[in-house]
A = this chain, B = another copy of it.
Amino acid sequence: MKPNYHYKNVAETYLFSNIAKKVAAYTAANPDKKVLRLGIGDVTLPLAPAVIAAMHEAVDEMGKAESFKGYGPEQGYGFLRESIQSYYARRGVTLAADEIFVSDGAKSDCGNILDIFDKDNAVLVPDPVYPVYVDTNVMAGRNIAYMQATAENGFLPMPDETVKADIIYLCSPNNPTGAAYTKAQLKAWVDFAIANNAVILYDAAYEAFVADGAARSIFEVEGARKCAIELCSFSKTAGFTGTRCGYTVVPCELEFDGMNLRKMWLRRQTTKFNGVSYVVQKGAAAVFSEEGEKQIAQNLAYYRKNAEKIAACMDECGIAYTGGKNSPYIWLQCPCGMTSWEFFDYLLENAQVVGTPGSGFGKNGEGYFRLTAFGSHETTDEACNRIKNLLKK
């Protein structure tokens, strides 16, 4: 048997294990110092009461013969797909329920969607980037080109007519930079994709954080139905990182070489997937209930407040950054020309604050650093105070 040799080319990622090692070593040497973590991308607030109630109810249903649920539709129950459909409709985006595919999370879909594409496609990803876009394509043996996301373009690269691209990854609001495209900017990408017969994989996992009129869905843009697939998630919107639910939108119009991508994805999912747990789907649908939306809005406001605190701290310190406004991430330029890891060490040793070195996300991340708004108010306040004491000029 021949194994998939492309796996040899997947880079080992030591980013988070290196962080953990450094923090462990510091803590061992300084047991009296309290380390504050603003590095992780995981949420901390519990699930909303409406979600909890819906999940309890669903668990009860599973315990009684008359309401027990066996195999459900692979693409998700109608009740959840219709909730998602309404969620889009309230933002002016019209989708058919059968264009929405419920899954166990955007990370799964992000990997699995590549199934419906030929190996021989040119892939274009931004640098810095969520490493999953790169690794999943390397595993399939595809060639990857990078578009440069830098301070010069506000970390929002625009189309380059000289670059060949069949599959284009856009993530907005962006992980790790927090930058968010406007509709006008996305329109340029949609036009480029259509002109080049390319497909856009649009990662909207952080759309719920959009506050200032940036785009929340690529389907707000005319023409996107002819070239784009959108991946989204309940993880950051509703704290589902450990509950696992996401969805992918594949418009009916998407056709390449006479093959319809929605039908291909349906075939992929019905063949290699058996749907999301009924209990989880009931919880996810509750996110979009009137009560659920109010509770979720409070949680998002809580994290946004943290983002504002960190952004204000950066302003006070005179440190340049993106994000913090439409995003739970603050992407800052390391002061005094430090490299990402130098600043990591500096911040850990002098303020006992842990963040994520930007160089872990690609070469353009060197000299940058990511802080996240997913902690508690108390941790965020204390971390900001320590950073100000250390860095305020």
A residues apposed to B, CB below 8 Å: 1-5, 7-8, 10, 42-47, 49, 52, 55-56, 59-60, 62-65, 68-72, 104-105, 107-108, 110-112, 115-118, 120-121, 132, 135-136, 139, 166-167, 197-199, 239, 241-244, 256-257, 259, 261, 264, 267-268, 271-280
Contact = CB atoms under 8 A, between A and B. Distances in A.
A62 B243 contact: yes
Nearest to A12: B267
A118 to B, nearest CB: 4
B272 A62 contact: no
Contact of A271 (B2, B62, B70, B132): B132
B56 A68 contact: no
A62 B242 contact: yes
Given A4-B116, A115-B4, A117-B3, A60 B70 contact: no
Contacts of A65: 44-46
Given A43-B70, A47-B63, A68-B242, 18 more contacts: A1-B166, A2-B166, A2-B256, A3-B118, A4-B115, A4-B116, A7-B267, A8-B259, A46-B65, A49-B63, A62-B242, A70-B241, A104-B104, A132-B271, A132-B272, A135-B271, A243-B277, A280-B280
Nearest to A272: B111
B4 A118 contact: yes
Contact of A2 (B5, B115, B121, B274): B121
Contacts of A273: 104, 107-108, 111
B279 A243 contact: yes
Given A110-B272, A136-B271, A1 B62 contact: no
Given A199-B1, A242-B277, A243-B62, A268 B68 contact: no
Contact of A274 (B52, B72, B105, B116): B105
A2 B273 CA distance: 23
